[in-house]
Amino acid sequence: MNRGIVAEQIPREVFASQIFEGPMREGMLRMLTYYDKYGLSGGNGLVLRAVLGREPRTLADYIREAFAEAL
């Protein structure tokens, strides 16, 4: 049951149009444009460990746990 996973980037205009209307759509577009240009700053492993009170899981660990619970 091996299935490939492909990550695709949805154009920000398409994403914003599917979810928001009017001023919310325009605000989302401005925010996404900023993130595309400068990245999404904030947070780091130390802060995440402090908030969680433990080591964060990797994405691979999370997926394994999610599938184990589903079976």
Residues 34 and 11 in one domain: yes
Q: What is the total count of domains within the chain?
A: 2
Q: Is the pTM of this model over 0.85?
A: no
Residues 29 and 10 in one domain: yes
Report whether 49 contacts 55 (CB < 8 A). yes
Give CA–CA dist 42/10, Å, rounded.
Answer: 23
Give CA–CA dist 63/65, Å, rounded.
Answer: 5
Residues 47 and 24 in one domain: no
Residues 1 and 31 in one domain: yes
Q: What are the pLDDT digits (tens) for 2-55?
A: 777 788 888 989 988 898 899 999 999 999 899 888 887 766 778 888 888 998
Q: Which of 27, 38, 33, 26 is nearest to 11 (CA)?
A: 33
Question: Any idea how long the chain is?
Answer: 71
Its domain, for residue 16, covers 1-40
Confidence of residue 61 (pLDDT cuts 50, 70, 90): very high
